[in-house]
Amino acid sequence: MSHNSEDRTLAYQLISFVFIAMLLVFFASVLVTRSIYKKIILDTQLDNMRHLAHERVYLLDGIMANVEALGRVSLDLMSNPQISSSTFEEHLKNVLLDNPTVHSICYVQDPEDGGRPQMLNTIRNSFIKREISGKDFLYYDWYQIPTISGKAGWIEPWFDGEGKGVLMVSYAMPMYQSGEITGVLRFDIELAYLQELLIHNASFRVGNSFLVSSTGTLISYQDPNLVMHQTLFSLAQEYDDPDLARLGYAMVNGEMGHIFVNGGSPMARSWIYYHPLKSNRWSVAIAIPERDLMASVNIILWIQTLASIIIFLVVAIILYARAVNVSKPLRTLAIAADKIGSGDFDARLPVSDKSFEISRLTDSFATMQQSLKDYIANLKTTTEEKEKIHGDVVYASEIQTNLIPSNCPHPLDIQELRAYGILEPAGDIGGDLYDYFMMDEDHFCFVIADVLGKGIVAAMAMTMVSTLLPSIAPYHKSSSELLKKLNIFLCRNNVEANFITIILGVLNLKTGELQYSNCGHVPMIIRKIDRSFIRYHETHATALGVFENLEIGSDTIRLNQGDEIILFTDGITEAMNDQEELLGTAGLEEIISRLSNPNPEETAKSILNAVHDYARGSSHKDDITILVIDYKHPGLIQDTNRA
């Protein structure tokens, strides 16, 4: 997954992380703030609504109580037999003129005896009295309710078609005479007057006030289309709003409290406080839409949001500037690091004291730069020395190679013999050796040896052996004598005390008699012309170069026609495959048993190839040396083994 490099800059990451953190904190802050403010404002506004509702209730109750009092006084006058009808009417006239609240007064006496309702009101301070015709009034609420119940009370707003033709709110009182109801006295207030009071006459304005009657009818409301047309229950039904129905039941039951109305009605999403009137079963309500209630909260939240954005921008700019400033030496350092990586160890590192961490990093880079320079200088010197040593080693290897006899069909031009040798050092130079030479006219000496260890020291030891043996051989006729001399020489001159395993054989070319000594070396194998072979595992002493007074024995055998002497070092038997399993003597014998007709070159190469195949995949390496000598003497008698 790849990222835009701009996305990974320090400034970008700092700002983005800060932004996310601030965003989370901001949202949490807004939610908590809104919740707290909403509760505080709601509590405050409910208090305001309560005060306002109480104010309206006191106002309406005051008006109604005044009308009720006027009514009771008038009723008392009417019931007084000493008060004439003209005096009574004069009283009512004064009531109307002195109390503009009272829109009209109506009274009816003895309707069963033909009494007609007398309607009294004033128009521009003129007193007017007229009689209502017909008998329909007998079935009006204002007449029926007081006469049937026998009690005075406020009746539901009604349309006074026989009066001014407007909606009236009436206080109707039964008139008694001798304990019998003989008529009704009615005081009217124009509904519009109360509506006007509710809407405008308030000490402070909070929300919208409305008034409902005892049946839940909207008597006063901001939308005149609903007034007297709708009840809270009809609105609840029309808008399928149970909250409105709950409000309606609470109000018509004379309860006091507040409710939140949801739904889709004209009062939707409003807080409504309601309070009953004392005069009748009406109820005043104050409604505040939640959006108005939350308006101030929303302003605060907007300000908070704006402030948060400004704070974020300021913080972002500061962070960006600082991050760019701080990361500038880092970029310079990165460029310098690239130069150092490409080999310019003298590249100049930035100097910064703006950040402790970056300063430490620069110092570390400087230390690393110096260390690299020193290391490279040392490496250069070492490499030069190594190359020089390597050159010496190569030269030594050439010398060592030259010490080994070159392969030719008949060694030393001796026709009875064929020999083939392979020396494959593990490194540039090795510690193995094979050699052959004539001790005198009849005796052919061959040797194969392995110096413990590798490298220069082993090669030097080998060189000593290969130069010493030919030089002292003419003075010794037996292999054991010769090896004793060699052992003494090695013990005295071998500084590193490397010991050497060796097989040295002396072959009498005339008799085919082979005297040999094996000092700690791997066995010699003689392969017969019939492809059988004999392994000579006897050793005649331990390895040379350790004990100066070492006793060395020997054995003598007689070679038959076509016998093939196979000599090798432990690099053959200790070859490992990829499972780290040794080839071993048994493995070598298996290889030898599969060889074709005796031929020193073929035999040596076949063995070497087989060993290579076996060791393929293995990291183990050792010097490998093979020497195969084929002896053919026509005078020898077949089938004679040992002397």
Partner 1 sequence: MSLRSKSITGIVLVTMLLLVFGTTTCKRKASDPKFQKFQGPSGTSPDSLFHIRVRPKWHPQAQFAGFYMAKKMGFYENYGLDVEMLDILPDSEAVLSIINRETDIINIDLLTALSMNRDSTVVLNIGQISQKSAVRLVGRKSRGINSVADFNGKKLGLWRYGSNLISQAFLAEQGIKMEIVPIDWSINLFTQNVVDVINVMQFNEYHQLLQAGIPEDDLFVVTMDSPGYNIPDEGLYVSPEFYAAHPAICKAFTEATMDGWTFAFTHQQEAIDEVIAQMQKAKIRANPAHQAWMLAQMQDIVLAKPDRLGILTRNDFDNALKIMRKMGSDIRGIAYEEFYPLVAQ
**Which residues are at the interface with partner 1 (CB under 8 A)?**
136, 139-141, 144-145, 148-149, 153, 155-156, 214-217, 228-235, 237-238, 248-249, 252
Q: Which residue's CB is nearer to partner 1, number 189 or number 610? A: 189
Whole-angstrom distance, CA of residue 418 vs CA of residue 585: 24
Q: Which residue's CB is nearer to partner 1, number 153 or number 405? A: 153
Q: Shortest gap between Cβ of 149 and partner 1 (angstroms)?
A: 5
Q: Which residue's CB is nearer to partner 1, number 187 or number 516? A: 187
Q: Around Cβ 323, how many Cβ atoms within 10 Å?
A: 17
Q: Shortest gap between Cβ of 245 and partner 1 (angstroms)?
A: 9
Q: Which residue's CB is nearer to partner 1, number 118 or number 283? A: 283
Per-residue CA distances from 204 to 51, 208, 309 (Å): 10, 11, 37
Q: Which residue's CB is nearer to partner 1, number 159 or number 375? A: 159
Q: Which residue's CB is nearer to partner 1, number 141 or number 578? A: 141
The structure tokens listed for 523 are 């066995």
CB 274 within 8 A of CB 54: no
Strand partners, 170: 188
Strand partners, 186: 106, 172
Helices (H) and strands (E) in the chain, counts: 14, 22
Q: Shortest gap between Cβ of 234 and partner 1 (angstroms)?
A: 4
Q: Which residues contact 243 (CB under 8 A, 6 or more apart)?
A: 236, 259, 260, 261, 262, 263
Q: Which residue's CB is nearer to partner 1, number 170 or number 182? A: 170
Q: Shortest gap between Cβ of 174 and partner 1 (angstroms)?
A: 12
Q: Which residue's CB is nearer to partner 1, number 67 or number 145? A: 145
Q: Shortest gap between Cβ of 142 and partner 1 (angstroms)?
A: 10
Q: Which residue's CB is nearer to partner 1, number 157 or number 207? A: 157
Whole-angstrom distance, CA of residue 272 vs CA of residue 258: 5
Per-residue CA distances from 176 to 76, 103, 179, 364 (Å): 10, 24, 6, 115
Q: Shortest gap between Cβ of 253 and partner 1 (angstroms)?
A: 8
DSSP 253-306: TT--EEEEE-SSSTTTTEEEEEEE-SSSS-EEEEEEEHHHHTHHHHHHHHHHHH
H/E element, 466:
helix 455-472
Q: Shortest gap between Cβ of 21 and partner 1 (angstroms)?
A: 54
**Which pairs with CB-CB distance under 8 Å and at least 24 residues apart come from 215-223?**
215/156, 215/252, 216/248, 216/251, 216/252, 217/156, 217/157, 219/157, 219/169, 219/191, 219/194, 219/195, 219/282, 220/191, 220/194, 220/195, 223/266
Q: Shortest gap between Cβ of 280 and partner 1 (angstroms)?
A: 10
Q: Shortest gap between Cβ of 254 and partner 1 (angstroms)?
A: 11
Whole-angstrom distance, CA of residue 258 vs CA of residue 293: 14
What is the number of residues in the chain? 643
Q: Shortest gap between Cβ of 133 and partner 1 (angstroms)?
A: 15
Q: Which residue's CB is nearer to partner 1, number 168 or number 458? A: 168
**What's the start-to-end Cα distance of the chain, in Å?**
84
Q: Shortest gap between Cβ of 148 and partner 1 (angstroms)?
A: 5
Task: Give the CA radius of gyration of the chain.
Answer: 66
Q: Which residue's CB is nearer to partner 1, number 66 or number 144? A: 144
CB 514 within 8 A of CB 505: yes
